[in-house]
Structure 1
């Protein structure tokens, strides 16, 4: 979609540097996480490398992107002011410093530092929850996206709290003598992180984005599926996490059934939006299209696995062998597709919107290189397919190395394409986006840019 959506709200968004700062730092953590993954594949890393890799990608790239997107979207979608611009920057650096220290301590085996850095990360996530919670509290009534975001904030609180307990467990016998063991807390923590904080946000955002950028509306079965999902999905996440925490298989089984059923229903909603689209196909929609078969296959494989044994360690994120299918095929491609529109849009409205009608300006989709976008789509899609096949079919380790290599190169192309949008078109340099915090975050002159979403 190359044009500005009609009827955008120009009054309630934060300065462009706030969300861009989150996105740029998140992209950096994506590259570091991919490098660690390559090291794991080559047996070149020590310590708790896999755990470090998972946190860099999920708590780093994905969660920082979510934080930046919420900071940008909630004020505009809700027609309210962001509670605190300054806190939006403070929370970013708390999470970043905490995460980098946490991941580095895991890699180097410096376990004594893990609780301290985990505590810093906790403060960052709690500051984010407080800032967005106060922002949402000023809204008189909530739509489907705001309801999902509010629930996701609750999941962020729970998952970060359990995370600090797990971090403390590296140096203190936190769970000694307790009927709830470390493995139980770890299962609940992972469940609340991926299916709670991350996927609840993803679902809420896609209700807006998938309709807005296809210029379609929910109708017919979409409305029924949405009503079921709004109740069944968060309830299922809580039951699945609780069942794993208390080692209660029946509770976890019910929760797993609700989670899988809700996500399969949402896949139907998404494919119908893409099928009915009234706009030209874009990198955003192409990447959303990958989500539909990935989510469907994950759900069909996971349903019997969770009905059988939802407490199995191998079934933590779904059926055995479906981790890459969920994390890359579903979560990863949603984030990739969203960034391919949101970053160019934010830059475009800050740089070119005032010139529209006075001189020739580029379209939004002209800001990134469509050839690189096509290349990274092929590399990331192909790499993900190879990794999924290697997981499900028990292919030789060389296949995993090939798939990981394709994903790594595709990730490099994606990051380069997004960063060149900022470098070539933004009035702020990349270092300026990262470091020019105090001036831009408190300058009222920056309040007049428009946002890539429609007001209600």
Structure 2
């Protein structure tokens, strides 16, 4: 059935995620936060707004759609999708307000941070339950499903650490040993979320996406060395967290090993994508494939900076620039690029599915116009490079200028997504044939089987 693999709430997750991204970029451009103190409350509020609000919701929405495809089965526990979204949005709002209260910007009790953290934990646990039960329902799954499962394990540890940190900062928990090591453990919390969950998951899902969009053979199965390297790298990160309480020198050594393994994973992944690129049957690639390849370049650059950062631990600018490139260049670039294909495809499936084979309908590619979007993707990527340079040189004005350019590019791309959703580029004579379903902007109107 045409609607069998459509998630009812994916578009809603996407819409909320873009709104959070734009609000985070506007906040940075307007003067909130500073490069001189990354762990300041204002910075933490904006970081969580973008990482959880934008990337977290983006990943959740995308996985609700693609995990059933990866597993060749229907989504388990689909009724959890809406409560999860509500809990995530409300939890993020309370967490952000708590950070602002810590910074003296809001006259409220900072203990709402712990409530926000619990709500975020509940929301993500709902997502984890849906995805994990869907994947393990199949006795055998390929590299993509395996990496998604491993990423969910990292997400679980990230949730636990985040809730502990929120409760400590809010004064709800009083654990002197943990409070003493809070500053040392914070990078591991960020690393497990951005690298352990998001990057590992993005690699897993993009194996299928690159193969599908480039019409290339997909490398699957347990023989892929990434299937061994990823668990080893995460095990090293988990070990380093424990060693922080026992021996800082050993913890640093294990951290370096973990980062080197992660860099190796990036190299193996890049090699696999290059093989798919050379073996592709689609010689003229669409825009979303080119943007995905560009995002991979940012991942490689970030990995090199991260290796340098852990090797020379006194240089915080390197680590900050590396995580910035991971968040904005790799994950955001990949996300924006794939949305440019996913939204038109889901819109096409929803709108024209009921009349396929009975009426003339446009192609998926007819729902977009790459001439409008291509300059904005280029502008976005250039502005990310400028932002990373601003971090390395410690220039707040340059960083804010780059952020405003990113904001303009994201807003322009969001308009392109909206145009695709509203069928603005579809040829007029086949735009809405009799029997087709006009889509709503932020949710799926068709009653689908999940």
TM over 0.5: yes
Higher deviation after alignment, 353-362 or 160-169: 353-362
Aligned positions of 1:50-199 closer than 5 A: 50-109=43-102, 110=108, 111-172=110-171, 173-178=173-178, 181-199=181-199
Higher deviation after alignment, 25-34 or 365-374: 365-374
Aligned to 2:341: 341
Aligned residues, how many? Answer: 420
What CA distance in whole angstroms lies between the structure 2 residues aligned with 1:144 and 1:55? 29
Runs of 4+ in structure 1 deviating by more than 4 angstroms, as ranges, are: 9-12
TM-score, scaled to structure 1: 0.84
Which of 214, 236, 239 is the aligned partner of 2:236?
239
Aligned positions of 1:167-316 closer than 5 A: 167-172=166-171, 173-178=173-178, 181-218=181-218, 227-247=224-244, 248-279=251-282, 280-309=284-313, 314=316
Verify the 8 A CA contact 1:200 1:234 in the aligned structure 2: no
Verify the 8 A CA contact 2:309 2:315 in the aligned structure 1: no
Verify the 8 A CA contact 1:229 1:262 in the aligned structure 2: yes
Verify the 8 A CA contact 1:94 1:124 in the aligned structure 2: yes
Higher deviation after alignment, 255-264 or 355-364: 355-364
Secondary structure of the residue that 1:447 maps to in structure 2? Answer: coil
Q: Which has the bigger relative contact order, CA under 8 A and spacing at least 6? A: 1
| Aligned alpha-carbon RMSD (Å) | 2.8
- Confirm whether residue 427 of structure 1 aligns to residue 438 of structure 2: yes
What CA distance in whole angstroms lies between the structure 2 residues aligned with 1:133 and 1:227? 21
Listed as ranges, the gaps of 5+ residues in structure 1 are: 1-8, 449-456
What CA distance in whole angstroms lies between the structure 1 residues aligned with 2:398 and 2:179? 41
The structural deviation recorded for 1:18 is 1.5
Q: Deviations over 1:314-346 (max 9, x none)?
A: 27xx64532332221111111111111111101
What CA distance in whole angstroms lies between the structure 1 residues aligned with 2:414 and 2:125? 28
The structural deviation recorded for 1:13 is 2.0
Secondary structure of the residue that 1:352 maps to in structure 2? Answer: helix
Verify the 8 A CA contact 1:12 1:82 in the aligned structure 2: no
The structural deviation recorded for 1:121 is 0.9
Aligned to 1:454: none
What CA distance in whole angstroms lies between the structure 2 residues aligned with 1:79 and 1:272? 25
Verify the 8 A CA contact 1:34 1:408 in the aligned structure 2: yes
Q: Summarize the Cα distance change of 1:162–1:390 in structure 2 as closer, same or farther, 3 Å threshold.
A: same
The structural deviation recorded for 1:289 is 1.9
What CA distance in whole angstroms lies between the structure 2 residues aligned with 1:186 and 1:264? 26
TM-score, scaled to structure 2: 0.85
Q: Summarize the Cα distance change of 1:100–1:205 in structure 2 as closer, same or farther, 3 Å threshold.
A: same
- Confirm whether residue 38 of structure 1 aligns to residue 29 of structure 2: yes
What CA distance in whole angstroms lies between the structure 1 residues aligned with 2:391 and 2:53? 24
Q: Summarize the Cα distance change of 1:278–1:388 in structure 2 as closer, same or farther, 3 Å threshold.
A: farther
What CA distance in whole angstroms lies between the structure 2 residues aligned with 1:54 and 1:176? 26
What CA distance in whole angstroms lies between the structure 2 residues aligned with 1:374 and 1:258? 34
Verify the 8 A CA contact 2:298 2:326 in the aligned structure 1: yes
Verify the 8 A CA contact 1:257 1:307 in the aligned structure 2: no
